[in-house]
Amino acid sequence: MMHPATELRFISEEVGFGVFARQAIPCGTITWTGDELDQRFTRDEVARLHPMCRQAVERFSYIDPAGVFVLCWDHGRYVNHSCDPNCFSAGFQFEFAIRNILAGEQLTDDYGLMNLQAPLQCRCGSENCRIVIGPDDIEHRAPGWDAMVRTSFEFIGKVDQPLWTVLQDRGEVEAVLRGDRDIPSCAFHRFQSE
């Protein structure tokens, strides 16, 4: 489920749609969380879908740590990738703003956490664009990403959280904010196929 102060906007024929902030979203705000309306498909179930449905699932879903295809039911499935994203995920089933997001700004995350099935050409235009987003990016980049998340995670406990009660891992997040446990690594998201 996306943060309620976000909306879908058409960007261009090349990019398609994207998700934008309708108001300022401060650093630490949970911008998306998995919820019980998301549709989940095993690889076999995807293979049995009508080709047009399969295409939609392959384009708009992410693959979770168990290898399940998750198709977000709302505009969460239109969040675009950036190599300099303003939303990110630690080792939890939610994303949060890792810096202040301005009203009208596009929300972006990193598809390096989504277990891509094939490399993706990137034209995000950011200074640090990786050009190719690889399925294995998480292997090399998790330590750097964890360090990035660490600088903004504490703000989760300091800002309004409209999605807080939807969060499935609230207890663990509270334990982190109390200092009782470390922030779990984003490497949690990696699906390791046999």
Residue 57 near residue 49 (C-beta atoms within 8 A): yes
Q: Does 124 bind Zn ion (CB under 5 A)?
A: yes
Residue (124 or 173) nearer to Zn ion, CB: 124
Please state whether 28 falls in left (phi above 0), alpha (psi between -120 and 50) or beta: left
How far apart are alpha carbons 173 and 191 in whole angstroms? 22
Q: Does 122 bind Zn ion (CB under 5 A)?
A: yes
Contacts of 194 (CB under 8 A, 6+ apart): none
Of 20-28, 64-72, 76-84, 145-153, the window that binds Zn ion (rule: CB under 5 A) is 76-84
Of 64-72, 77-85, 87-95, 136-144, the window that binds Zn ion (rule: CB under 5 A) is 77-85
Among 129, 166, 177, 187, binds Zn ion (CB under 5 A): 129
Q: Does 116 bind Zn ion (CB under 5 A)?
A: no
Residue (15 or 103) nearer to Zn ion, CB: 15
The residues of the shown chain that bind Zn ion, judged by CB under 5 A, are: 83, 122, 124, 129
